[in-house]
């Protein structure tokens, strides 16, 4: 994905650049067409690019792969390396208006451990996720996992809404292709063989982002065409 697309989607401006303005539509070409949008059960194709515009992870990463706050505002690791404590962002809403809480984090991590191709390894040592309050999640391990903090981005470990996935067939959930997230863009439409439409989330926690009003994703079957 081109750097310009990344910058536009993030709504990021560089130092000294003009103040960003709201509005406009980004037309984005993706190949091949993804089988789903949410990177919950697969790592294939464009869903690792598209999904994080709708759903988010606990962390994001800078260009040097250093962890940065996202849905988690801060974190700490116990001296024995067996507990990772995450303080969660307040005031975050799912796109359907429900509150984001630690219950969503616990559900997502334990689900990723079972259904995600790399999650089975990433979270292999996870024994439980404690939720002492709505804004605290503690990942408990059976033995240290030094790489855990490197795998908590939305593209790798998306946090999904428990109230929509719990006690359902997760592998075949309709929300894998029509995600409900906490991210800057809201899913609107997925027309197989044609396009995906995302619209600006007016209630996004990181205001004034995003700056774009809409993202239209179109597919081409052959990248050389």
Task: Dump pLDDT digits (tens) for 105-138.
Answer: 999 999 999 999 899 999 999 999 999 999 999 9
Which CATH number characterizes residue 54's domain?
3.40.190.10
Q: Is residue 195 part of a domain?
A: yes
pTM: 0.90
Nearest to 205 by CA among 104, 106, 88, 108: 88
Q: How confident is the model at residue 225 (pLDDT cuts 50, 70, 90)?
A: low
Q: Is residue 134 part of a domain?
A: yes
- Cα–Cα distance, 225 to 207 (Å, whole number): 39
Q: Is residue 221 part of a domain?
A: no
Classify residue 197 by its DSSP letter: E
> Could you report the per-residue pLDDT of 167-200, keeping only the tens digit for each?
999 999 999 999 999 999 999 999 999 999 999 9
Residue 116: which domain range?
Answer: 3-11+25-210
Q: Is residue 18 part of a domain?
A: no
- Cα–Cα distance, 191 to 162 (Å, whole number): 26
- Cα–Cα distance, 58 to 176 (Å, whole number): 19
Q: How many structural domains comprise the chain?
A: 1
- Cα–Cα distance, 49 to 39 (Å, whole number): 9
**Phi, psi at 54, each rounded to 5°:** -110, -45
3-state secondary structure of 115: helix
Q: Is residue 224 part of a domain?
A: no
**Phi, psi at 157, each rounded to 5°:** -135, 70
Give the CA radius of gyration of the chain: 17
The count of C-alpha atoms lying within 13 angstroms of the C-alpha of 139, restricted to the half-sphere facing its C-beta, is: 30
Nearest to 187 by CA among 203, 176, 195, 198: 198
Q: Is residue 204 part of a domain?
A: yes
Q: Is residue 106 part of a domain?
A: yes
> Could you report the per-residue pLDDT of 57-101, keeping only the tens digit for each?
999 999 999 999 999 999 999 999 999 999 999 999 999 999 999
Q: Is residue 20 part of a domain?
A: no
């Amino acid at each position: 994905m081109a750097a310009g697309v990344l910058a536009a989607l993030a709504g990021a401006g560089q130092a000294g650049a003009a103040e960003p303005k709201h509005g406009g539509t980004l037309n984005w070409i993706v190949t091949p067409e993804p089988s789903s949008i949410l990177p919950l059960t697969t790592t294939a194709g464009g869903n690792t690019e598209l999904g994080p515009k709708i759903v988010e992870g606990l962390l994001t990463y800078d260009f040097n792969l250093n962890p940065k706050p996202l849905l988690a505002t801060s974190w700490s690791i116990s001296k024995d390396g067996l507990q990772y404590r995450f303080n969660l962002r307040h005031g975050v809403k799912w796109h359907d208006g429900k509150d984001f809480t630690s219950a969503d984090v616990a559900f997502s991590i334990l689900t990723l451990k079972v259904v995600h191709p790399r999650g089975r390894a990433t979270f292999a040592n996870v024994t439980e996720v404690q939720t002492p309050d709505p804004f605290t999640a503690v990942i408990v391990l059976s033995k240290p996992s030094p790489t855990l903090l490197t795998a908590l981005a939305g593209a790798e470990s998306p946090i999904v809404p428990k109230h929509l996935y719990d006690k359902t067939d997760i592998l075949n959930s309709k929300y894998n292709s029509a995600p409900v997230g906490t991210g800057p863009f809201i899913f609107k439409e997925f027309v197989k063989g044609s396009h995906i439409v995302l619209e600006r989330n007016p209630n996004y926690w990181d205001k004034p982002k995003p700056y774009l009003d809409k993202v239209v994703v179109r597919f081409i079957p052959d990248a050389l065409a």
